[in-house]
Amino acid sequence: MAQTQSLPFSIDGDWSRLYINGEWRESDNGTTIDVEDPSTRETVATVPAATESDVDAAYEAAAAAQNDWRQTPPARRQEVIQELLELLHEYEEEIIELLAYEAGGTRGMGETSLHLASDQATEAATLPRRMKGEHAASNIPGKENIVQRVPQGVVTVISPWNFPLNLSMRAVAPAIAAGNAVVLKPATNTPIVGGLLFARLFEEAGLPDGVLNVVTGRGSDIGDRVASHPESDVVAFTGSTEVGRRVAASAGENLAVAAMELGGNNAHIVTEDADIDAAIDAAVFGSFVHQGQVCLSINRHLVHEDVYDEYVAKLTERAEELPVGSAHNQVAIGPIINELQRDQMLEYVQETIDAGATLETGGETVDLDGVDDSLVVAPTVLSDVANDMTAACNEHFGPIAPIVPFSSVDEAVELANATEYGLSGSVHAGDVGTGKRIAERIETGMIHVNDQPINDEAHVPFSGTGASGVGGYNSEEFLKEITEKKWISLQHEPREFPF
């Protein structure tokens, strides 16, 4: 590895222990999981494989610590989050490097992740002072009604592998800021930057013991126990719709609040009046950033038949110009997270070609020097695609751009909505007003005009419809998930009762 010394936040650091009740401890049975660098396919770290007894210990610690933490003054809770924000900047380079080693993130992906995580922490720092209540008039003489907003209790955060830093931060930081305790279960592929890193950051920021607990391990071993734990009051999950349905069902057994951001099949609509070059600029980013491993990425390009050939040619040319290779080099396209994901997306491509689509470019892995079984997939453009072909109707989650023609705006809207998902999308239609009218007809939780679907701002609500999830993240939306209202009435004068 490139580093010459071991730093507490580097991949060379000791990540071999769980973080429970303010202590770094081995898993109950001492077993571990190897962390593989997607670029080199080498083992770069070892983390604990938690057991169900470790999970129980984490929730026990969280429940015990939460009562004191909820009573901590807002200013102190804010200070902890602000200190966390400063540490993010202090260890910026180490964190970006961790994302490259663990998630296969290019430099651009790492910088974007850090920016988004910082934005989330900045917004979370405002929450302790925004948990305000209200008074409500009473129909009973002499009664005063007070409605308070109080923390839910223990928040479970199950974070994904694609953007582990910011997608953990958007749940962990607000939950803690609002007075909750947290049990964080990161994805198996990214247990450090999505989990154990948070333990070290919050420990250094001065968070009291037990308020944050991190358990790493395989979902097959501890996932059900985490999702269904009786001490959990909120389950915040980001991941596939298939897994999300199981997680939500498990959470529901305990009547825990479920905040689920799930899959997407986002359409990028380009009409005959669009600025094609602007639409292509947006399309390149929206399809290929982080190898397309983004729930918000463009899954389908819906392009008017009058500009279809021009669009295909220009997108193909741009895709072929993108530098590809190891995430440790200056490239735009790095590796897919693992061979399972890689093989599935390439199978989608082949099935789409077999169904009649044309492969314009890509559709194969890119060899890397010294690497057996490379995980780098070339940016792929498919033309002559129908909306029901495999790469279009499934969330391919890769650097794949299926281009579907349409003949009218009504047809484009129908195609865009012909999916169970409703997460994000984008429209290029020549002017903002026309784009907005089209956007209003698309059944998604979010959609962007003269842009691409990948947008996230911590002060703006983030949510999907249909199979893309339930509940919402960011600002007031997530604050509602992690807090509840409590009615306290004060009877200032004797009350008359009928008997």
Instruction: Average the pLDDT over 336-356 and give the result.
Output: 98
Q: Are residues 132 and 252 in the same domain?
A: yes
CATH number, position 398: 3.40.309.10
Arithmetic mean of pLDDT over the chain: 96
| DSSP letter string, 264-330 | --EEEEE-TTS-HHHHHHHHHHHHHGGGG--TTSEEEEEEETTTHHHHHHHHHHHHHHS-BS-TTSS
40-63 average pLDDT score? 98
* Domain-located, residue 89: yes
The answer to whether position 368 is within a domain reads yes
Q: Is 493 a catalytic residue?
A: no
State residue 3's pLDDT score: 39
Residue 200 and residue 303 share a domain: no
User: How do strand 18-20 and strand 483-491 relate by DSSP bridges?
Assistant: unpaired
pLDDT score for 157: 98
Claim to verify: residue 407 and residue 272 sit in the same structural domain: yes
pLDDT digits (tens, 9 = 90+) for 317-328: 999 999 999 999
Q: Which conformational region is residue 75 in: left (phi greater than 0), alpha (psi within -120 to 50 degrees), or beta?
A: alpha
The number of folded domains in the chain is 2
In a domain, 9, yes or no: no
- Is residue 6 over pLDDT 60? no
Give yes or no: residues 167 and 29 share one domain: yes
Q: Which of 36, 295, 393, 481 is catalytic?
A: 295
pLDDT > 90: percent of the chain: 98
In this prediction, residues 175-187 reach a mean pLDDT of 98
pLDDT at res. 499: 94
- 1, pLDDT greater than 70: no
Instruction: Give the per-residue pLDDT at 7.
Output: 62
Q: What is the mean pLDDT of residues 390-404?
A: 98
Same domain, yes or no: 217 and 348: no
pLDDT in tens, 192-202: 999 999 999 99
CA-CA distance, 273 to 278, in Å (whole number)?
Answer: 12
As a 3-state breakdown, the chain gives helix, strand, coil percent values, each rounded to 5, of: 40, 20, 40
Asked if residue 496 is part of any domain, the answer here is no
Same-domain status, 123 and 136: yes
Is 187 found in the same domain as 43?
A: yes
Q: Domain of 151?
A: 18-262+468-486
Residue 93 has pLDDT above 50, yes or no: yes
Mean pLDDT of 416-437: 97
Model pLDDT, residue 8: 82
Query: Residue 4 has what pLDDT?
Result: 38
CATH number of the domain enclosing 179: 3.40.605.10
Question: Which residues contact residue 433 at a Cβ distance below 8 angstroms, ignoring those fewer than 6 apart?
Answer: none
Three-state DSSP class for 217?
coil
- Whether residues 62 and 196 share a domain: the answer is yes
Residue 393 designated active-site: no
**Residues comprising the chain, all counted:** 499
Q: What is the pLDDT of residue 480?
A: 95
Cα–Cα distance for residue pair 331/234, rounded to 1 Å:
39
Is the confidence at residue 2, as pLDDT, over 50? no
Residue 235, domain member (yes or no): yes
Q: Kindly report, residue by residue over 54-72, the tens digit of the pLDDT.
A: 999 999 999 999 999 999 9
Who contacts 94 (Cβ-Cβ below 8 Å, separation ≥6)?
A: 7, 9, 10
Same domain, 316 and 342: yes
Which of 36, 97, 231, 261 is catalytic? The answer is 261
Whole-model pTM: value is 0.96
| 5: pLDDT strictly greater than 70 | no
CB atoms closer than 10 angstroms to residue 475:
20
